[in-house]
Structure 1
Amino acid sequence: MIDLLVVGGGPAGLATAIHGALAGFDVVVAEPRPAPVDKACGEGLMPGAVRALDGLGVKVPGHPLRGIRYLDAVGERRAEALFRTGHGLGARRTLLHAVLTDRAVQLGIPILPRRVRQISQSTDHVTADGMAARYLVAADGLHSPTRRALGLDERPGAGRRPPRYGLRRHYSVEPWSDLVEVHWSAGCEAYVTPLGPQQVGIAVLTSEHLPYEAQLARFPLLVSQLGTAVRTPVRGAGPLRQRARSRVAGRVLFVGDAAGYVDALTGEGLALALTAAAELVRCLREGRPQAYEDAWRRLSRNYRLLTKSLLWARNQPRLAPLIPPAAARFPGLFQQAVNLLA
C-alpha cells in the first residue's frame, strides 16, 4: 500500500507529491493529461509563491516582478505598490508545470496516465480505482470531481452574484513594465503580466459573456500598447467561485483550486496552493490529517478576506469606478494590502 495518492498533476498536486517524497512518503500521482498542461491563468507568481518553489528545489524561468500597478481604463488614475519581501515572477504556466514535473520525476515519483473515477475509504486506507493508499489528496482542479463525488460542493445561497470567468491570451511584444498591471473598467479587469523579453500575458476577468476582443476594447490605453502584436488563441476558465464544505473528508484531503476558490482578482491562487501543499504534508507527517482544515483556513485567511472585500466593491456600481482612484489616494493602504498577500 502506498502512503499518498495524489489525484491531479497540476502545480498543487505536484507540489504536494514533492513535499510528500521529501518527507519520506511513498507517493504516486494520477494525471491523465501529458505534461506540460496549460491553463487559463494570470501567470504571475507572488513573492510567497517564489519562496515556496525555492523550498521545493524548483527554479522557474520567467520575468522578475517588482510589484503591482492599478490603473483605470484610460490610464489617468494609477497606483503602485512594490513588494517588500522579494520579487515575484511572471512565468508561463507550461514552464511552471514542466519544471515541477521534472522535479517529481527526479525524486522518483510515478506519474500514472490515468483518471480516477471511483473512490471509497475505510478506517485505515482509501481505494481509488483499485489503488490503495493510506491517504488520498485531491488536487483535481476548480471543478473537482472528487469534491463533487464526496458531496462537499457547497450550494450557492440566494442573491448570488453573477459568476466570473477568466480569459487569457499571450502577445509577442516587449513588456513595458516590470510590474503586474491591473486595468479596471466598469465591467471587467485586465491583468498584464510580463513573461519574457518579447511576451506579455493578458488575462481578463469578467462576469459578462462577451468575446475576448470585446472585453479588451474597454481598455484603450492597453489596446494602443499592444498594437499589431502577434497573439495566441484565447483560453478560458470558470466559473471561478467554488465553495467547499471542508478540506478534509476522512482520509481524503483537498489542495489547490479543489479546496475552494474565491476569485483570481488578487492573484494569490498559486501561492496559496503551494504553501497549503506544504502544510498538508506536515499534518500527515505528524499523524494529524484533521489539523489540515485549520491550517488551510489560517493560510488562506488574508486571501479570502481581501479578495471577498475587493470583489464586493467591484460588484457595487457606484464603488467599482472608485477602486483605482482610492488606491492612488491612499498609497500606504494599497501598499499594505498588496504586501499582506505577497
Structure 2
Amino acid sequence: MIDLLVAGGGPAGLATAIHGALAGLEVVVLEPRPTPIDKACGEGLMPGAVRRFEELGVPVPGSAFRGIRYVDGATGLRAEGLFRAGPGRGVRRTELQAALAGRAEELGVRVLARRAGEVRQDADRVGAAGLTARYLVAADGLHSPVRRALGLAVPAAPGRPARYGLRRHYAVAPWSDLVEVHWAPDCEAYVTPLGPDRIGVAVLTSRQAPFDVQLADRFPGLAARLPSPGPGAAVRGAGPLRQRARTRVAGRVLFVGDAAGYVDALTGEGLTLAVSAAGELVRCVRAGRPQEYERAWRELSRGYRVLTSALLWARGRPPLAGRIVPLAARLPRAFSGAVNLLAR
C-alpha cells in the first residue's frame, strides 16, 4: 500500500514527497498540471529555506541576496537588515518547482496527472483519485479543495480587508543585492533579484486595481525605474491571502503548505515554513503518531503567525503604518534582529 498520497505537486507537496522518500516511505504525488508550475509569489527564499532545500538534495538556482531593505515610498527613507547565516536566493517559481520535481524523480516518487477528487477514509486507510494509501497529504494550495471538501475552512472575519498578491517579471539588471520592500499607506511592493538580467516585482495590496495602476499610484519612484514589460511578462495574481484551517490533521488527512493555513506573504516565510513542516509531517507519520503533527505545525509556525499578524495589525492603522520604516531606520539593531529571526 502507498504510504503517502500527496495531493499537489507544488513546492510544499514535492518537499513532503522528498522527505517521505528519504525516510523510506512509498510516496505518490497527484498533480494534474504539467511541470514546471508557475504561481504568483515574491520568489525570494530566505536563508533557512535555501538551507533546508539543499539538505534535501535540491539544488537552488537563482540569484543570491544578502538581506532585506525597507523603503518608505513617500520619503525614500531606508532601513537595511543583512543576513548573518548566509544569503537568501531569488529564484523563479518555475525553476524551483522543476528542481524539486527532478529530485523527487531521482528518488523514485511517482507523479500522476490526476486530481484528488473525493476523499474517503476509515480507521486504517484513505482513498482519493482511485488510489488507496495509509495517509493523504493535502498540499493543494491557498484555496485547498481538500480542506474545503472536509469542511475545515474557516470563513473570513467580517470587516477585515482581503489582501491579494500580484507579480510580474522585468528584463532589467538588479540594482541591489537585497530584496527591497517598498511601503505605501495600503500596500507593499517587493523587488527581488532573480538573475543577472531579471527582477521580480510583487505587490501585496487590499486594493482591487490593475498591477500597473497600483505601481503608478503608490510607487511612482519604483515604477520609473522599470522598463516596459517584455513579451510574455504576464501579471499573475493570488488571493485572498489570509486562509484559516480548523486543524492540520483530520483522521488520515494531513495538511501542509498554504493548505494548512496562511496569514500573509508580508514577511516572506511561506516556503521556509512549508519545507520545515513537511519534514515534521513525515517524522510524525513515520513514528505512527500523525496526531502530533498539529502541535509540531503550531510550534513551527508560531513566530510567523505572531510577527505577520502584528505587522498586518499595524499596517491596518494609518498612524502606525506610516511609522514602520522610520522606526526600522531608527532602530537598526532591532530591525536586523527581526530580519535574522525570519531568516532562520
Q: d(CA) in 2 for partners of 1:321 and 1:219?
A: 15
Aligned to 1:96: 96
Three-state SS of the structure 1 residue aligned to 2:176 is coil
Query: Quick one: which amino acid aligns to residue 219 of structure 2?
Result: F
What amino acid does structure 2 have at the position aligned with 1:58? V
The code of the aligned residue for 2:35 comes to A
Deviation, structure 1 residue 103: 0.6
Amino acid corresponding to residue 286 of structure 2 in structure 1: R
Letter matched to residue 65 of structure 1 = F
CA contact (8 A) 2:114 2:129 kept: no
Shift of 1:116: 1.2
**2:154 is paired with a residue of what secondary structure?**
coil
- 1:1-342 equivalence runs, <5 A: 1-74=1-74, 76-158=76-158, 160-217=159-216, 218-228=218-228, 230=230, 232-342=233-343
The alignment's C-alpha RMSD in Å is 1.1
Q: Which amino acid aligns with 1:132?
A: T
Following TM superposition, by how much is the alpha carbon of 1:228 offset from its aligned partner in structure 2, in angstroms? 3.9
Structure 2: runs of 5+ lacking an equivalent = none
CA positional deviation for 1:7: 0.5
Q: Distance in 1 between matches of 2:140 and 2:101?
A: 16
My pick for the range that moved more, 332-341 or 21-30, is 332-341
Q: What is the letter of the counterpart of residue 26 of structure 1? A: E
Aligned-pair distance for 1:22? 0.6
> What is the one-letter code of the residue matched to 2:221?
L
Which whole-Å CA distance do the structure 2 matches of 1:234 and 1:24 have between them?
A: 40
Distance in 2, matches of 1:323 and 1:305, equals: 16
The one-letter amino acid paired with 1:206 is T
TM-score, length basis structure 2 = 0.97
- Per the TM alignment, residue 75 of structure 1 is displaced from its structure 2 partner at its CA by 5.4
Shift of 1:74: 4.4
Distance in structure 2 (CA, Å) of the matches to 1:281 and 1:215: 41
Give the Cα–Cα distance (whole angstroms) in 2 for the partners of residues 315 and 152 of structure 1: 27
Q: Is the 8 A contact 2:152 2:246 kept in 1?
A: yes
Checking the alignment, whether the CA contact within 8 Å between 2:127 and 2:133 is kept in structure 1 is yes
Q: Measure the CA separation in 2 of the matches of 1:255 and 1:114.
A: 19
Superimposed CA distance per residue, residues 177-213 of structure 1 (whole angstroms, 9 cap, x where no aligned partner) = 0100000111210000000000000000000111101
Q: Shift of the alpha carbon at 1:264?
A: 0.3
What TM-score do you get using the length of structure 1 for normalisation? Answer: 0.98
Contact 2:171 2:227 in 1 (8 A): no
CA distance in 2, matches of 1:106, 1:152: 34
Write the distance in 2 (CA, Å) between the matches of 1:72 and 1:260: 30
Residue 108 of structure 1: how far off its partner (Å)? 1.0
Q: Secondary structure at the match of 1:177?
A: coil
Shift of 1:317: 1.5
Tell me if the contact between 1:173 and 1:229 (Cα under 8 Å) persists in the aligned partners.
Answer: no
Matched letter for residue 269 of structure 2? E
C-alpha deviations, 1:226-279, integer Å up to 9, x for none?
144637111100000000010000110000000000000001101100111011
Secondary structure of the corresponding residue to residue 263 of structure 1 = coil
**Aligned length, in residue pairs:** 341
* Alpha-carbon separation, structure 2, partners of 1:230 and 1:175: 16
8 Å CA contact 1:74, 1:220 repeated in 2: no
> Deviating runs (4+, > 3 A) in structure 1?
227-231
Q: Shift of residue 223 of structure 1?
A: 1.6
Q: Determine the C-alpha separation between the residues in 1 that align with 2:157 and 2:164.
A: 19
Distance, in Å, in 1 between the alignment partners of 2:204 and 2:157 is: 22
